Amino acid sequence: QQPVQSPQAVILREGEDAVINCSSSKALYSVHWYRQKHGEAPVFLMILLKGGEQKGHDKISASFNEKKQQSSLYLTASQLSYSGTYFCGTAGMEYGNKLVFGAGTILRVKS
C-alpha cells in the first residue's frame, strides 16, 4: 500500500511557505523526497533515515517521525523554481527491498 501524501495540490505566491506531508501505514526505515518538473525525470532532494533526523537543502527541509510513520517537507520562501510535483518514497521491511512512492503533491509557485 502506497504512502499517502497531502495536500494533493497547492498554489503559492513567491515568498510563501508550504508543507507537504507523507504518511505510511507501515513501519518505515527511511523516507525519500523527489521533485519532478513537467516533462522531466524525478530528481532526488533528500533521504531521512530512521532516527527522527531533520535535513535541509537550501530552503527546503524535511522531518521524519518514525513512531508516527510520517514525514513532512517544508518549503520556505518559495521560489518559482520550486514548482513541480513532489513525491515521497517510503522504504520499510514490509515494502521489501524497494521504494514505494506516494501519488505526489503538485506545487505551483506564482509570481
Partner 1 sequence: DTAVSQTPKYLVTQMGNDKSIKCEQNLGHDTMYWYKQDSKKFLKIMFSYNNKELIINETVPNRFSPKSPDKAHLNLHINSLELGDSAVYFCASSQAPGAGVVEQYFGPGTRLTVT
Contact residues for partner 1 (CB under 8 A)?
A: 29-30, 32, 36, 40-44, 47, 49, 85, 87, 91-92, 95-101, 103-104
Helices (H) and strands (E) in the chain, counts: 0, 11
CB of 79 to partner 1, least distance (A): 22
What is the pairing mode between strands 70-75 and 60-65? antiparallel
> By C-beta, is 30 or 76 nearer to partner 1?
30
Give residues with Cβ within 8 angstroms of 54, minimum separation 6. 48, 61, 62, 63, 64
CB of 63 to partner 1, least distance (A): 18
Q: How many C-beta neighbours within 10 Å does residue 103 have?
A: 13
> By C-beta, is 16 or 106 nearer to partner 1?
106
Strand partners, 60: 57, 75
CB of 15 to partner 1, least distance (A): 27
> By C-beta, is 19 or 106 nearer to partner 1?
106
Gap between the Cα atoms of 30 and 16, Å rounded: 28
> By C-beta, is 32 or 72 nearer to partner 1?
32
